[in-house]
Structure 1
Amino acid sequence: MTYITPKNLVHINDRLASLELYREVAMASSGDESIRASILAKIQMEEDAIRASYFERVEPNGSTRVRHPTIAVIEVRHDILTEPRRLFANKINSLVTYTLAVSQADAVIDLDGVIRYEPYAEVGRFTVSEQSFNSLLASTGGQSQPMNIESLQGWLIEAAIPDFFEASARTLGDQVDREIEARNRTLVGLIESLQERQTKGGKLPASEIEKLSRILDFPSTFVSNLCHSVGAIAEYAETVTSAQRLEIEALIRAHQLQEVK
C-alpha cells in the first residue's frame, strides 16, 4: 500500500490475530458440530468486516480510493424546525437548531493530486441550539456546550431525559422561600427562649448570651443571602432573554436566506 502503512494497522492486526486464535481454538474443540460451525461463521463475519474497513484500490478512472477507520468528515446543517423543540440544557424551546453529523469517509485521490472525501457510514449525529453553537464557535477552548445525541454508531439512543436541569428559576425561588422560613423559625425560637427566661426570672448563662448574639445578627446575613438569591434569579432571567433573542435573530436570518434562494 502507498498511503496506509503498518503503523496505521497495529490495532487492526491485533484484532485479526485474536480472531485467528479464536478460530484455532474452535477448530480444536470437540462437541456439537453445528455450534462449531456457528462460531466459525461469526469469526469469519467479524474478520470480513475488519478487512473491509481499510483498503487502497485504483479506480477505473485512475484515481486511488483509500479507506481507513480514522478518515472521517463532519457536516454542519442549519435547520428550521416545523415545531418548537426543547433541547438538552436549553432554556427555551428552539425553532432553529444546528445538526452536526460525523461520518466515516473514503479519501479519493485524483491523478492530479486533488483529494475529495466521500462519506459511507454515519458514526454519530448531534443537535445543538443556536446559543450553544454560537458559544462553541466563540470559545477559545476549554469550554464545553450541551448537546443532544441523536444517533451514535453501536448504541441504541433512548428518549431524551426531561429537562429537569432547567428548573433553575423555580429552584432559586424555593431557595428564597426556605431562607425566609428558616429565619422565621429562628425568630420564634428566640422569642420563646426569652419568654421562658423572663418567666423563670433566671439569669442567662454566658453560653446562651453568645448564642442569642449570633442569632440576633441574622438580619444582615438574611439580606446578604437574599440578595445573592435574587441576583441569581436575575442572572437566570437575563440568560433566558439572551437565548430568546438569539433564537429570534437566527430565525429571521434563516427566513431571509430562504427568500434569497
Structure 2
Amino acid sequence: MEGLLRQPEWRIIDQSTAGRHFQALQSFGIDDTLCASIGSGKAPATARTWVHDNTIVLGIQDTKLPFLKEGRQFLREQGYQSIVRNSGGLAVVLDEGVLNISLILPESEKGIDINRGYDTMWQLVENMFADFNKRIEAREIVGSYCPGSYDLSINGRKFAGISQRRLKKGVAVQIYLCVNGSGSGRAEVIKQFYEIAKKEQPTKFTYPEIVPEVMASLSELLETPLTISDCLLRLLNQLKNNTGYLYSGSLNEFELELLPGYHQRIVERNLKLDEM
C-alpha cells in the first residue's frame, strides 16, 4: 500500500475552487487526460482535487433506468444538473461540501492490482484523519448510494466512496469525501431519484434501496466543523510525507493538447443521454 503513496515527486493540481466554474464533465475528461499523460511518462504522479456545484453524477447502469427522463427532471427541480460519467458505479452527489480527490499513477511493468489501488486511497484517508482516533472501515454499506466493497465508513455510516479508472497505462483512483453538510440529506435526493426513475418496474440490474440514515459527512461523524480547505491541508501534509518533491502545477503542454479529445468523448456520451 505504502509503495504507491510514496513517489519520487507529487504534482498537485488543485481545482477545488476553479471547479465551481466549469462542469463536472470536464473533470472526468481531465482525469482521462492525466491517465494518458502519466501512463506514457509525460508527467509525474499527480493528485488532483476538485469540487463542483450541485451535480448528480450518474453511472452507466443508471442510464438504463426505465423512467430516467422523469428522474432527471426531478433532479433539475431540486436544483441539480445530472451527467453520466465514463466509468462504472452508480449515482453520487457532488456539491460545495464534497471534496473529490484523484490520485493518478503510472502502471509499472507488473501493473497495479485493483485492490492495491483501493487500499492506497483508503490508507491515505486514514492517515489524513488519524488524529481523530476513529476507525475508518472499508466495506460495503448496504443502503448507501453507489455501494461498493470500498465504501469508507465510521461506526457503520458511509462518508466516502472510491472508484478507479484505467487508461493507457495510467490509473486514476478517485474518491468523493462528504466533508460537511448532511450526508442523509444527499442520500434522500438519490433515494427519490431512484423511486421516480425506476418506479415498481422490474429491471435486469438491481438498483440500491437507499436508506438515508446510513450516510453522513465527516463533520457529522467527527463532530468537528471541517471545511474543504482543512481537508486539502491534511492531504498536502500526507503527500509531503511520501515524496522528496511536492509542487503545485497545472496541465502541461502535452496534456493541454490531449484534453479536447477526451473531453469531447464524454460530451458525446452525454449528448446521447439527453436524446434518450
TM-score (norm 2): 0.23
Q: Using CA pairs under 8 Å that are at least 6 residues apart, name the structure with larger relative contact order, 1 or 2.
A: 2
